[in-house]
């Protein structure tokens, strides 16, 4: 399924889903409550799972259905559940020390999207794909990456940082489904499992942080400097 | 033959890890890990020698034994062996961790396994996964001592490195995409497939993908300005783990950069790609120099020295050509040996004086004439003083830079190396020849397990400084040739 010759209907469905997940990333960026992050993240994962299934349908990659099911199960249900349990145990419901107000963070996020659009457009132009869904996929991929980094930079609660990392990877998943649907399935499956391990590790670490550093806010981690 | 050796090399640490998990006895765990490390060392040596006969592919091209990869396994195996010997002595000195030692050795041998695996991955995606696995395993080793500082270091390590490495995943996806215009939508993303199709890839896309990969794996290598996790993780983990992180892990991540650089070369964007790498290398040297000069912690001093040496290796790789590549590979080996020695010495001193602060370590020579001398010799070696191996490898890299017409980088490297020489040894002057005042106190007698690996590291370092085997030179030139030509 080369991106250049795509069924217009398929192209518009892909665009819709890509934009929906970008919007959900903004929901995460603009909210203060950890629970809202989690719901937005779960919803985003479901959108990406649906996108995998759609790409599988239009591109004729049956193995993408498997990826879709795994994405929905792991990233849509299991990971949010694990994180939700951490939230409950930590007794932290909102981001207390934010660096940037959510409203300013939204503006910064908008600049990230503009920058990614410029990069995506340039690359798309040099590939002769300027008017296709590839540019959009590239833009969404890069901007979710930048938004993830923004979340890592301006939020200090341990859980927000985990979610920031997961948004980074969601962006890659989304872009990869559209741009390289044929990328070996084995790798995608392993990456899914890998994420699960990451979150399990984080769960353990968060507990250590709480037990030994006495806080889960990275603002308090300043013993090691210089 | 190579396949069997490789299998033995991978199975022995895996077996040791499984054994440690099954039998919760610390003496047995020590023994298993030590035996595994000896087997790994012997097989890695054999594999490195055999790798010159051309690349060997296994398991549907997922595994490759080529010369650069085998060289990294050899460096890893050396550090693993030295660190395993050392950890027998060192880990017994830790108070209160005795009953958890089996879990330490299980993690330690799995860490070695993941590093070894990463060097033989032929698929760029799988390479990424294995590098991510090294992070996950080593996080728990960094936080092993469970002090608040260690947990803080572990947290910073996993957050910064995972975020960085996700950029490498994005770069990998973009490389796959740019390859799919040449090789069709579904193909095996092996290093040689990428390199051979690179000339027909879109240069703009390759540059974007290469920069992402460079920043991503550069985070893992500890190139400035992505090095911020490195001093924390290296200074807070137990000393054998610091040696593995510095001497083995960083090389494994550097291998990824070397391989992608070869792809960028074939795509015709090599000069840009090299200049970026050289700039990062110079920046690492600057950061290393600044933080070495004003450093209070003994292991943080060693950690910033790792930043510096990764900068030197990045410069060698970036300069390219015969001298650049040979110098970088030689430097990898020398740095692995020397940094292990330095971390072992630092660990010993830390345990005996009961402090991490340079200012409280005094009169090392009076308390420890033998290990003090070894450590001092290592300090001279790591700053690039003759007659040790690092002097030679740095000289070769400088010459490679002149040939590649990076005069500005060569000048910067020379000046910064001199600054580091002065700054680094000044700390040692304070520790060995203190001004009159209250002298330090020392608590522990060190066992032979803690001293022997220092001898084992220093002897080859001196040997390689005085004598460069011609077989090694031929090996390096063959590697430089394969990296340049694109033939796997």
Suggest the residue from A126, A177, A180, A195 to mutate for an interface test with chain B (most B CBs closer than 10 A): A180
Nearest-neighbour CA in chain B from A191: distance (Å): 7
Residues of B in contact with A164 (CB under 8 A): 163
Q: Which residue has the tokens 């959510």?
A: A102
Measured between CB atoms, does A5 come within 8 Å of chain B? no
Tens of pLDDT along chain A (226 residues)? 556 667 888 888 989 999 999 999 999 888 878 888 889 999 999 999 999 899 888 888 888 888 888 888 888 888 888 888 877 777 666 666 667 788 888 999 999 999 999 999 988 888 888 778 888 889 999 999 999 999 888 887 777 888 888 888 888 888 888 888 877 776 777 777 767 767 767 777 777 777 766 666 776 676 777 6
pLDDT surpassing 60 at residue B487: no
> Residue B86's pLDDT band (boundaries 50, 70, 90)?
very high
Q: Which two tokens stand for residue B131?
A: 């590098």
Residues 6+ apart with CB under 8 A from A106: A26, A29, A30
Nearest-neighbour CA in chain A from B235: distance (Å): 9
> Residue B488's pLDDT band (boundaries 50, 70, 90)?
very low
The DSSP symbol for B473 reads H
**Helix extents (H) in chain A:** 8-30, 34-59, 63-71, 79-90, 102-127, 133-154, 158-179, 185-208
Average pLDDT over residues B380-386: 91
A19 part of a folded domain: yes
Query: How far apart (Å, rounded) are the C-alpha atoms in residues B47 and A111?
Result: 51
Which residue would you say has higher pLDDT here, B317 or A217? B317
Q: Which residue has the tokens 């060097």?
A: B119
Angle (CA) A213-A156-A113 rounded to 5° is: 155
Average pLDDT over residues B446-467: 89
User: In a 10 Å sphere around its CB, with 0-12 CB exposed, 13-18 middle and 19+ buried, how is residue A32 labelled?
Assistant: middle
Residues of B in contact with A221 (CB under 8 A): 152, 155-156
Residues 144-173 of B with CB under 8 A from A: 146-149, 151-156, 158-159, 162-163, 166-167, 169-170, 173
Average pLDDT over residues B78-107: 86
Average pLDDT over residues B266-294: 93
Measured between CB atoms, does B181 come within 8 Å of chain A? yes
Model confidence over B43-53: pLDDT tens digits? Answer: 999 999 998 88
Residues 98-117 of B with CB under 8 A from A: none
Give the sign of the dihedral formed by CA B340, CA B344, CA B346, CA B347: positive
Model confidence over B345-367: pLDDT tens digits? Answer: 999 988 888 888 888 888 888 88
Nearest-neighbour CA in chain A from B428: distance (Å): 19
Dihedral (Cα; A16, A18, A19, A22), 10-degree rounding: 160
Measured between CB atoms, does B308 come within 8 Å of chain A? no
Rounded to the nearest integer, the mean pLDDT of chain B is 90
Model confidence over A99-153: pLDDT tens digits? Answer: 778 888 899 999 999 999 999 998 888 888 877 888 888 999 999 999 999 988 8
Give the SS3 label for residue B1: coil
Angle (CA) A72-A74-A80 rounded to 5° is: 100
B121: phi then psi, degrees, rounded to nearest 5: -75, 130
Q: Which two tokens stand for residue A166?
A: 């997961």
A34 part of a folded domain: yes
Residues of A in contact with B132 (CB under 8 A): 194, 198
Q: Which helix (H) or strand (E) holds B58?
A: strand B56-58
Nearest-neighbour CA in chain B from A99: distance (Å): 18
Q: Which helix (H) or strand (E) holds B65?
A: strand B63-65
Average pLDDT over residues B258-266: 92
Residues 6+ apart with CB under 8 A from B4: none
pLDDT surpassing 60 at residue B486: no
Give the SS3 label for residue B386: coil
Residues of A in contact with B148 (CB under 8 A): 212-214, 223
ipTM: 0.91
Suggest the residue from A86, A120, A123 to mutate for an interface test with chain B (most B CBs closer than 10 A): A123
Range of the domain at A206: 8-93+100-218
Q: Which residue has the tokens 């097989």?
A: B43
Q: Which helix (H) or strand (E) holds B64?
A: strand B63-65
Distances from the Cα of B150 to the Cαs of A212, B98, B232, B304, B457, in angstroms? 9, 17, 8, 18, 27
Select from B372, B318, B310 the least CA-distant residue to B335.
B310
What distance lies between CA B424 and its chain's CA centroid? Answer: 20
pLDDT surpassing 60 at residue B146: yes
Q: Which two tokens stand for residue A15?
A: 């665009």
A224 part of a folded domain: no
Nearest neighbour of A165 by CB, restricted to B163, B205, B291: B163
- Total domains in chain A come to 1
- What is the pLDDT, as a whole number, of residue A180? 85
Judge: A183–B295 Cβ closer than 8 Å, yes or no.
no
Residues 6+ apart with CB under 8 A from B124: B172, B175, B176, B189, B190, B191, B194, B259
Nearest-neighbour CA in chain B from A77: distance (Å): 22
Question: What is the number of other CB atoms lying within 10 angstroms of the CB of residue B8?
Answer: 16
Lowest mean pLDDT among B179-188, B212-221, B335-344: B179-188
Measured between CB atoms, does A184 come within 8 Å of chain B? yes
Distances from the Cα of B358 to the Cαs of B74, B215, B230, B338, in angstroms? 33, 33, 19, 20
State the DSSP string of B407-445: HHHHHHHHHHHHHHHHHHHHHHHHHHSPPSSPPP----P
Nearest neighbour of B149 by CB, restricted to A1, A149, A224: A224
A117 part of a folded domain: yes
> Residue B298's pLDDT band (boundaries 50, 70, 90)?
very high
């Amino acid at each position: 399924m080369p991106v250049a010759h795509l069924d217009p209907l398929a192209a518009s469905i892909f665009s819709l889903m890509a934009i929906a997940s970008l919007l959900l990333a903004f929901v995460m960026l603009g909210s203060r409550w950890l629970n809202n992050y989690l719901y937005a993240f779960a919803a985003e994962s479901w959108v990406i799972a649906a996108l995998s299934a759609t790409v599988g349908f239009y591109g004729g990659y049956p193995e993408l259905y498997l990826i879709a099911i795994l994405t929905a199960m792991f990233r849509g249900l299991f990971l949010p559940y694990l994180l939700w349990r951490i939230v409950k145990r930590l007794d932290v419901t909102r981001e207390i020390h934010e660096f940037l107000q959510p409203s300013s963070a939204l503006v910064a996020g908008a600049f990230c999207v503009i920058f990614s659009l410029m990069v995506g457009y340039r690359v798309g132009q040099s590939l002769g794909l300027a008017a296709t869904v590839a540019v959009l996929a590239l833009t969404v991929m890069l901007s979710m990456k930048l938004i993830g980094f923004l979340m890592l930079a301006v939020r200090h609660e341990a859980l927000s940082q985990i979610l920031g990392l997961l948004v980074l990877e969601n962006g890659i998943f989304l872009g990869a489904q559209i741009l390289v649907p044929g990328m070996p399935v084995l790798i995608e499956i392993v990456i899914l499992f890998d994420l699960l391990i990451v979150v399990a590790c984080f769960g353990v670490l968060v507990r250590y942080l709480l037990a030994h550093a006495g806080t889960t806010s990275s603002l308090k981690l300043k013993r090691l400097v210089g | 033959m190579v396949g069997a050796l490789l299998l033995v090399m991978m199975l022995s640490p895996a077996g040791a890890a499984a054994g440690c998990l099954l039998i919760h006895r610390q003496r047995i765990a020590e023994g298993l890990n030590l035996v595994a490390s000896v087997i790994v060392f012997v097989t890695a040596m054999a594999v490195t020698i055999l790798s010159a006969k051309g690349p060997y592919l296994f398991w549907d091209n997922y595994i490759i034994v080529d010369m650069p990869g085998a060289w990294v396994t050899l460096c890893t195996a050396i550090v693993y062996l030295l660190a395993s010997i050392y950890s027998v002595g060192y880990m017994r000195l830790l108070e209160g961790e005795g009953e958890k030692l089996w879990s330490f050795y299980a993690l330690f041998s799995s860490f070695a396994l993941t590093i070894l695996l990463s060097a033989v991955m032929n698929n760029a995606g799988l390479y990424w996964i294995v590098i991510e696995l090294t992070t996950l395993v080593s996080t728990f080793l960094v936080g092993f001592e469970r002090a608040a500082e260690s947990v803080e270091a572990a947290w910073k390590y996993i957050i910064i490195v995972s975020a960085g490495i996700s950029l490498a995943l994005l770069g990998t996806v973009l490389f796959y995409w740019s390859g799919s215009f040449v090789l069709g939508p579904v193909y095996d993303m092996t290093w040689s497939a990428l390199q051979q199709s690179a000339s027909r890839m879109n240069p703009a896309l390759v540059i974007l993908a290469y920069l992402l990969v460079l920043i991503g794996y550069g985070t893992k290598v500890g190139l400035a300005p992505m090095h911020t996790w490195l001093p924390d993780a290296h200074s807070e983990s137990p000393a054998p783990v610091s040696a593995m992180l510095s001497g083995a892990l960083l090389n494994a991540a550097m291998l990824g950069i070397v391989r992608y650089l070869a792809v960028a070369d074939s795509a015709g964007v090599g000069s840009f790609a090299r200049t970026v790498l050289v700039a990062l290398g110079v920046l690492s040297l600057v950061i290393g120099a600044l933080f070495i000069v004003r450093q209070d912690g003994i292991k943080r001093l060693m950690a910033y020295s790792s930043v510096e040496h990764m900068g030197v290796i990045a410069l060698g790789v970036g300069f390219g050509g015969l001298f650049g590549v040979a110098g970088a590979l030689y430097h990898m080996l020398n740095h692995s040996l020397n940094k292990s020695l330095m971390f072992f010495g630092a660990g010993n001193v830390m345990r005996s004086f009961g402090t991490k602060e340079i200012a409280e370590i005094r009169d090392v020579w009076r308390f420890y004439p033998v290990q003090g001398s070894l450590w001092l010799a290592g300090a001279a070696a790591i700053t690039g003083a003759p007659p040790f191996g690092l002097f030679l490898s740095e000289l070769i890299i400088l010459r490679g830079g002149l040939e590649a017409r990076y005069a500005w980088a060569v000048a910067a490297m020379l000046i910064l190396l001199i600054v580091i020489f002065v700054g680094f040894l000044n700390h040692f002057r304070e520790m060995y020849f203190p001004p009159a005042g209250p002298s330090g106190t020392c608590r522990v007698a060190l066992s032979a397990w803690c001293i022997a690996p220092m001898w084992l590291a220093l002897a080859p370092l001196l040997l390689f400084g005085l004598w460069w085997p011609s077989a090694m030179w031929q090996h390096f030139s063959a590697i430089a040739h394969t990296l340049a030509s694109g033939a796997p």
